[in-house]
Amino acid sequence: MIVYGIPNCDTVKRARAWLAEQGRDYTFHDFKKAGVPEARLDAWIAALGWEPLVNRQGTTWRKLDETVRAGIVDAASARALMLAQASVIKRPVVEWDDGRITVGFDAARWAGA
């Protein structure tokens, strides 16, 4: 299992704490240190679509110029933004052992994983 995110993100902290409580082993991929893996981003977009990956509620999104935000209209424009500004990706992105990919943290949903 691989958990992708930013270590100081509160949601990532909660998710990692929950995984530790459950005794789940995982590898953590830090977007700030290791960047966004392009091939994985492409796989996430293919599996989930681009919309769930763009965190439109976060500070990074709100700080973007209005013309930049208005230009995010498809997978290609969203992909370019996510590669340029990893903190706009909703976190955490998790690649589960069974091949599923989830975005965000939901303890009730994760409990069945």
User: What range defines the domain where residue 45 resides?
Assistant: 2-111
Average pLDDT over residues 16-44: 97
Are 50 and 75 in contact, with CB atoms under 8 Å apart? yes
Q: What is the CATH number of the domain that holds 93?
A: 3.40.30.10
Question: End-to-end alpha-carbon separation of the chain, Å?
Answer: 11
Q: Is a pLDDT exceeding 70 seen at residue 42? A: yes
Band the pLDDT of 104: cuts 50, 70, 90: very high
Radius of gyration of the chain (CA): 14
- Count of domains observed in the chain: 1
In tens, the pLDDT along 45-71 reads 999 999 999 999 999 999 999 999 999
Band the pLDDT of 113: cuts 50, 70, 90: low
Active centre residues (catalytic): 9
CA-CA-CA-CA torsion sign (17, 102, 93, 104): negative
